[in-house]
């Protein structure tokens, strides 16, 4: 089939799967014992593209009802932007920010993967790779963990050569000094230590804790010190805290990123490829951050993040999140393994290289 006629998407399949965690998990503001992944496959010319997002299984029905009709017939060799905008238009009255954009993200990732496979190129090169590998940080350290389990998990990442780790804080703040002590002992002085409060603190408490985190444990990254809906609060903490303030995991549509950036709310913008509109939305958000002179950090879903993060010049790291690492290994063949604290896309494979087991 020539490029002039093109390869049209014939079919879209979607399923949801709920996978129990390996132990009860909690952070500053939520407890959970399972994770649901919604997986999309798009088919054209005998090839398949794969995308996914982590959300409620209701997103599977949303994809089937609202997005699949817009995707059938898309010519994959051509620009995918029209399909992205059409899907956004179709979600208008259902709600774009939130689950609507998570659904759209899974489809967009699958379309980019399919396009790369049809063209026979690795996704990283199709997206415009500027580096060969993307740095990661180990993320877990749940507030539900015993000190022993916490230390074991963090030391495990350091043993794999990952020089950055993050733990959850803020559920019972009085317990955190012992948890931070255990973390620092487990990882040694050379490993960067990050914390994530998932919006658990008010402004004044967040500033007070930021000072302690930095002074007593050498913490350099404080994620969602206050609710990320409180843009003025994030800016308040950022201006006073002696470490980097980060947020962005609940930014979906481009306006969400613009609002965070215009408010001066973050030192580093977090972007989740499975929430922000897939690869198309990720590149939009990264461009906005660059205009504000900021780096981006990819939130979770490391196996689909690695490729686009190699295409963003002002990139810092990917969150190598315990739950997603486990699920992506379980469900997909071709998952990348960390090497020297980074994920390196395999350029010998077209697309992102993941296949459904």
Task: With beta carbons less than 8 A apart as the criterion, state whether 72 and 90 touch.
Answer: no
Task: With beta carbons less than 8 A apart as the criterion, state whether 206 and 197 touch.
Answer: yes
Residue 223 or 328 with smaller CB distance to Mg ion: 223
Write the binding mask 136 to 155 for Mg ion: x where contact by CB under 5 A, - elsewhere: --------------------
Please state the three-class secondary structure of the chain as a single string. Answer: CCCCCCCECCEEEEEEEEEEEEEEEECCCCEEEEEEEEEEEEEECCEEEEEEEECCCHHHHHHHHHHHHHHCCCECCCCCHHHHHHHHHHCCCCCCCCHHHHHHHHHHHHHHHHHHHHHCCEHHHHHCCCCCCEEEEEECCCCCCCHHHHHHHHHHHHHCCCCEEEEECCCCHHHHHHHHHHHHHHHCCCCEEEEECCCCCCHHHHHHHHHHHHHHHCEEEEECCCCCCCHHHHHHHHHHCCCEEEECCCCCCHHHHHHHHHCCCCCEEEECCCCCCHHHHHHHHHHHHHHCCCEEEECCCHHHHHHHHCCCCCEEEEEEEHHHHHHHHHHEECCCCCCCCEECCCCCCCECCCEEC
What is the nearest approach in angstroms of Mg ion to the Cβ of residue 121? 33
What is the nearest approach in angstroms of Mg ion to the Cβ of residue 347? 30
Residue 133 or 223 with smaller CB distance to Mg ion: 223
Residue 113 or 196 with smaller CB distance to Mg ion: 196
Residue 123 or 165 with smaller CB distance to Mg ion: 165
What is the nearest approach in angstroms of Mg ion to the Cβ of residue 139? 8
Write the binding mask 155 to 194 for Mg ion: x where contact by CB under 5 A, - elsewhere: ----------------------------------------
Q: Is the dihedral of CA 11, 16, 19, 24 positive or negative?
A: positive
What is the nearest approach in angstroms of Mg ion to the Cβ of residue 196? 4
* Residue 244: strand pairing partners: 221
Instruction: Assess whether 299 carries a catalytic annotation.
Output: yes
Residue 124 or 247 with smaller CB distance to Mg ion: 247
How many residues touch Mg ion (CB under 5 A)?
Answer: 2
What is the nearest approach in angstroms of Mg ion to the Cβ of residue 350? 32
Q: Determine the distance from the C-alpha atom of residue 103 to the mean position of all C-alpha atoms in its chain, rounded to a whole number.
A: 14
Residue 116 or 298 with smaller CB distance to Mg ion: 298
What is the nearest approach in angstroms of Mg ion to the Cβ of residue 82? 33
Which residue has the closest beta carbon to Mg ion?
Answer: 196
**Distance (Å, whole) CA 127 – CA 313:** 12
Write the binding mask 192 to 231 for Mg ion: x where contact by CB under 5 A, - elsewhere: ----x--------------------------x--------
Indicate which residue of 299, 317, 322, 352 is catalytic: 299
Residue 328 is a binding residue for Mg ion (CB under 5 A): no
What is the nearest approach in angstroms of Mg ion to the Cβ of residue 271? 12
Residue 210 or 354 with smaller CB distance to Mg ion: 210
**Residues of this chain that bind Mg ion (CB under 5 A):** 196, 223
Q: What positions carry a catalytic annotation?
A: 299
């Amino acid at each position: 089939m020539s490029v002039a006629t093109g390869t049209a998407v014939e079919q879209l399949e979607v399923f949801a799967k709920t996978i129990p965690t390996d132990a009860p998990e909690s952070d500053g503001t939520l407890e959970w014992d399972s994770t649901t992944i919604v997986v999309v496959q798009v088919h054209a010319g005998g090839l398949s593209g794969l995308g996914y997002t982590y959300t409620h299984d209701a997103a599977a029905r949303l994809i089937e009802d609202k997005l699949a009709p817009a995707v059938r017939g898309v010519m994959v060799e051509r620009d995918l932007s029209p399909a992205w905008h059409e899907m956004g238009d179709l979600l208008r009255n259902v709600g774009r920010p939130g689950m609507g954009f998570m659904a759209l993200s899974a489809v967009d990732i699958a379309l980019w993967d399919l396009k790369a496979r049809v063209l026979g190129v690795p996704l990283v090169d199709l997206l415009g790779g500027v580096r060969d590998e993307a740095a990661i940080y180990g993320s877990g350290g749940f507030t539900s963990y015993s000190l022993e389990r916490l230390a074991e998990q963090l030391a495990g990442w350091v043993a794999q050569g990952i020089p950055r780790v993050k733990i959850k804080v803020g559920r019972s703040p009085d317990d955190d000094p012992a948890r931070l002590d255990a973390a620092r002992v487990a990882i040694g002085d050379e490993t960067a230590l990050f914390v994530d409060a998932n919006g658990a603190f008010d402004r004044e408490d967040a500033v007070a804790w930021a000072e302690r985190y930095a002074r007593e444990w050498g913490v350099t990254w404080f994620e969602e010190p206050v609710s990320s809906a409180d843009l003025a609060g994030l800016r308040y903490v950022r201006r006073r805290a002696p470490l980097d303030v980060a947020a962005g995991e609940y930014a979906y549509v481009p306006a969400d990123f613009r609002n965070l950036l215009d408010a001066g709310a973050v030192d580093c913008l977090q972007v989740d490829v499975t929430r922000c509109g897939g690869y198309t939305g990720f590149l939009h958000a990264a461009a906005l951050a660059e205009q504000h002179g900021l780096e981006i950090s990819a939130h979770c879903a490391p196996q689909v993040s690695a490729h686009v993060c190699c295409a963003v010049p002002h990139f810092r790291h990917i969150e190598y999140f315990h739950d997603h690492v486990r699920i992506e290994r379980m469900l997909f063949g071709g998952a990348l393994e960390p090497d020297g604290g980074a994920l390196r896309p395999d350029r010998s494979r077209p697309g992102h290289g993941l296949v459904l087991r």
